[in-house]
Amino acid sequence: MCGLNVFVSSRPAAGAPDPASAEAFAAALETMHHRGPDDTRVEFADGVAFGFKRLAIIDRAEAAQPVHYRDRWTVVFNGEIYNYRELRAELISEHGATFATEGDSEVLAAAFHFWGPAALPRLRGMFAFVAYDTWTGTLHAARDQFGIKPLYLLETVDGLFLASERKALLAFAGGSGPSIDTDALAHYFTFQYVPDPLTLHRQIRRLPPGHRLTWTAGGGVRTERYFRPKLRPLSTTPENAQQAIRDALRDSVHQHLHAEVPVGAFLSSGVDSSAIVALAREKKPDLHVFTAGFAADGYSEIEIAEDTARQLGVRITPTVVTEDDVIRELPRIVHLLDDPVADPSLVPLYFLAQTASRYVTVTLSGEGSDELFGGYTIYREPMSLHRIERLPDSMKRGLRGLAHAIPEGVRGRSFLERGTTPIEERYYGNARIFSPEEKAHLLRFTADPHTAITAHLYAETADVDDSTSMQHVDLHTWLPGDILAKADRMSMAHSLELRVPFLDQAVYAAAAGLPTELKLPAHSSTTKHALREAMRGIVPESVRERRKLGFPTPTRLWLKGSIGDWVGGLISGSGPRHLIDVDYALRLLTEHRAGHADNSRKVWTVAMFCLWWAIFVDRTIRPVPLTMPLPPAQAAPRPLHGQSLHGQSLGGQSALGESDRITTVLTGQ
């Protein structure tokens, strides 16, 4: 797990970068120091700059990056390729490939050399990488199939910048501050995250999951999707489905344990993390696991997780999060996110990763299981609405009118509204914060509706049932935009590599064809039925049937206490009054604190945006000590261009501190 920063000039013959540009590039790399504290390297050659922060996991002594292969390729790579040993053997036997290291990054470089983009579907792992072809002057980049690892891009007249985090590109975006993408902001208030490929910064975009890009000085950026996950229910027996799940997940977990550093796992109260821990313990009996909870009644899974750990025979370390912890660390959390993510569960995840990082360098976690195996209770909604949805349109229109006549909160109104609303309008994804009507009150601008994000996804699932369509929407939006974004940022904040065995090609293949009745059987109220049955005899029975909790967060209680006071001050003093109606947001908070309505998710979403604004736009909050100063708001440094640094030092204790070292490699001279 690492952080990368790359620049390729549109004017490769323009000359060497000047000192200010070189220092700006090094400073940008330092904003991601937490992603890779073990080694820092910067290379300049022929109009291309590579910066890399390494968290050493495999071949720790030798496999430094950037990697060079066959005097043609320069590669930087964030992630892990779990089948790299098999690919290495194949490359040697088929192509006579040679290797100077024992790591996966050189295997990735060789795979791209011999197979080109056809190598991408063969990679089993998580990755975001950049590969520069010195022979053709073409830059290639790709992001893994599900979006586990991030990759941001900024294209300017000077060239193309890419980085693992958006903050590493800000100095090169120009202007006095970010130009806000109002469509992205409107989507944030719907989904509680900014969906790919958007960011709140209009100039900066994310490469979507399962996509690759190419760039040339004359042709600019071209993107292409190489993988699109699809769920297509097929005919199979329960026994065959369960065996396929069991075999694929066991193999995936065992593959994900490979490392030259200590490996642990997160453990909550549910079947996902329990399955990973149980299967990991088969190979690693001394597995150390970690859990988190809050000092509030009903909001802690610690006791349940401790009981599960005892039954599985593993050591467990709990973390208790207090309100003071939240107020102290929330600005740092939002800074690490780059764009706001208003999912409160990222708060315990941050502290959980902080504790785990004191004992291990790698941890396994259960992200992706719910989207693949049907783990959210909302996926059962189409079954409960089936009878009303089958009524003639004229009758449904009448029932919808009746629903509007029923007072808000009265039993039956919600059922009639949902049953008479097409799924494309009813289901935005796993989170729905502000409705279109509510956004009309909150926002001081008009923007694209949420269907701009979801319409094409529903079009792709016209031939499957509604529950599978909902999974498909979440698999392409909620999973990369919320679940994986918070997992990456909160773990890397503490230089902890988080691995997700459920998001493995073989596990995906076992889940993709599951019939809906095996995931969400009509005779039961459970979710992930096939997965639960596959884990029979592997995880304790008490866990196998337990409903999902997933580190519950006491947001509604927080907002009635000292955190609510803090949030009120944050919103009332907020800068973006031209974008949001602050008075409306404060009324939501007042209603919540008085007990008139549960507005906790809406208020939290507004508060996270206001905090983001204070950090990245107004710069009134500086949540982390900076190893190098931010560029002044009114002037951005000039972008890098040219061939080499000609011996100029990028380091120096005055700029980076005594513990930081940058290795500068000069090539192409």
pTM, two decimals, is 0.91
Which of 1, 2, 185, 520 is catalytic? The answer is 2
pLDDT, averaged across the chain: 88
Phi, psi of 140 (to 5 degrees): -120, 145
Residue 440 pLDDT greater than 90, yes or no: yes
Query: How many angstroms separate the CA atoms of 365 and 471, rounded?
Result: 20
User: Residue 145 has what DSSP assignment?
Assistant: T
Query: How many angstroms separate the CA atoms of 157 and 166, rounded?
Result: 19
Query: What is the arithmetic mean of pLDDT over 584-595?
Result: 97
Query: What is the arithmetic mean of pLDDT over 261-287?
Result: 96
Q: What is the pLDDT of residue 454?
A: 95
Superfamily name and number for 238-376+476-544 = HUPs (3.40.50.620)
Residue with tokens 């349109």: 393
Helix (H) or strand (E) holding 438: helix 436-442
- Burial category of 404 from C-beta neighbours within 10 Å (exposed 0-12, middle 13-18, buried 19 and up): exposed
Fold of 2-184+202-228+639-666: Glutamine Phosphoribosylpyrophosphate, subunit 1, domain 1 (3.60.20)
pLDDT confidence tier of residue 308, bands split at 50, 70 and 90: very high
Residue 6 pLDDT greater than 90, yes or no: yes
Cα–Cα distance list, 395 to 297, 391, 427 (Å): 45, 6, 21
Residue 626 pLDDT greater than 70, yes or no: no
pLDDT confidence tier of residue 425, bands split at 50, 70 and 90: confident
Query: What is the arithmetic mean of pLDDT over 281-293?
Result: 96
pLDDT tens-digit profile of 132-181? 999 999 999 999 999 999 999 999 988 999 999 999 999 999 866 679 99
Catalytic status, residue 610? no
Q: Which has the higher per-residue pLDDT, 448 or 213?
A: 213
Q: Which has the higher per-residue pLDDT, 658 or 79?
A: 79
Query: What is the arithmetic mean of pLDDT over 8-17?
Result: 67
Query: What is the arithmetic mean of pLDDT over 68-74?
Result: 94
Q: What is the pLDDT of residue 534?
A: 98
By mean pLDDT, which of 291-305, 348-362, 625-639 is the weakest? 625-639
Other Cβ atoms within 10 Å of 427 Cβ, number: 22
Query: What is the arithmetic mean of pLDDT over 44-70?
Result: 87
Q: What is the pLDDT of residue 409?
A: 67
Query: How many angstroms separate the CA atoms of 47 and 45, rounded?
Result: 6
Residue 264 pLDDT greater than 60, yes or no: yes
pLDDT tens-digit profile of 181-236? 999 999 999 999 999 999 999 999 999 999 999 999 889 999 999 999 999 999 99
Q: What is the pLDDT of residue 656?
A: 30
Q: What is the pLDDT of residue 661?
A: 34
Q: Which has the higher per-residue pLDDT, 545 or 499?
A: 499
pLDDT confidence tier of residue 664, bands split at 50, 70 and 90: very low
Q: What is the pLDDT of residue 184?
A: 97
Residue 654 pLDDT greater than 90, yes or no: no
User: What's the full length of the chain, in residues?
Assistant: 669
Q: Which of 553, 568, 579 is nearest to 323 (CA)?
A: 553
Q: What is the pLDDT of residue 269?
A: 83
Token couple for 557 = 């209680």
Domain boundaries, the chain: 2-184+202-228+639-666, 238-376+476-544, 380-429, 559-635
To the nearest 10 degrees (0 to 180), the angle between helices 323-337 and 484-492 is 110
SS3 191: helix
pLDDT tens-digit profile of 381-397? 998 887 777 777 777 67
